[in-house]
Amino acid sequence: CIRDRPAAAPQLAASLELAAGEVLLEGDGAPRRLLSGTPLPEGAKLRTTEGARALIRLGDGARAYLDESTTVELREGLVLVEGRAWLDAPGLERGQTPASHRVGDADVALSDGGASLEFRDGEVRVYVADGLAIVSNDSGRTEAGAGERVTLSTNAAPTVEAVAFWDDWTGGMGDRSG
């Protein structure tokens, strides 16, 4: 009996550590509801519905916490298609470069820190709670440290401003003092 060889499995890019509410894997067919502990392939597109949240462990060890009504793709880094995500990036060994994540038309690199990434209505906002973020698009590049927010609109250079009070939508992940 000749058996068909199994198709090559896609490379795993991440794992879904926690799913609360409807966290959906979108693809060619109907969206499929995901459960906590699900491995996620490279190229996966996930969406949280209203009231849902998800915690993803990326391949480089970073964690991404997705807010409700958020859509992301898993590429070499996280691609925030729409919505809001918290990124908790690990430190790097000497000579390593931080993973690059895509938010709208901007690239965000973060090391040993935490940042809120948001993309809504064509505007990118990156609030850095800890660490250093490098944010760039075709119109420019900037760095932001703890307590600063970078804002970008399509085809506009990034601007940085100090933030006296940030509304921590993550429920405490933004408090990195402990």
pLDDT given for residue 10 in this prediction: 66
pLDDT over threshold 90, residue 8:
no
The structure tokens listed for 102 are 């895509």
Q: What is the pLDDT of residues 143-157, one digit of tens each?
A: 999 999 999 987 788
| CA geometry: angle 21, 24, 25, nearest 5 deg | 155
For residues 80 and 47, the answer to whether their CB atoms sit within 8 Å is no
pLDDT over threshold 60, residue 14:
yes
Region 94-103 average pLDDT: 82
Q: What is the pLDDT of residues 78-89, one digit of tens each?
A: 999 999 999 999
pLDDT over threshold 60, residue 1:
no
Closest CA to 171 of 66, 89, 77, 59: 66
pLDDT over threshold 60, residue 2:
no
What pTM, to 2 d.p., does this model score? 0.88
Burial class for 148, CB neighbours closer than 10 Å (0-12, 13-18, 19+): buried
pLDDT given for residue 6 in this prediction: 62
Q: What is the pLDDT of residues 111-138, one digit of tens each?
A: 889 999 999 999 999 999 999 999 999 8
Q: What is the pLDDT of residues 35-79, one digit of tens each?
A: 999 999 899 999 999 999 999 999 888 999 999 999 999 998 899
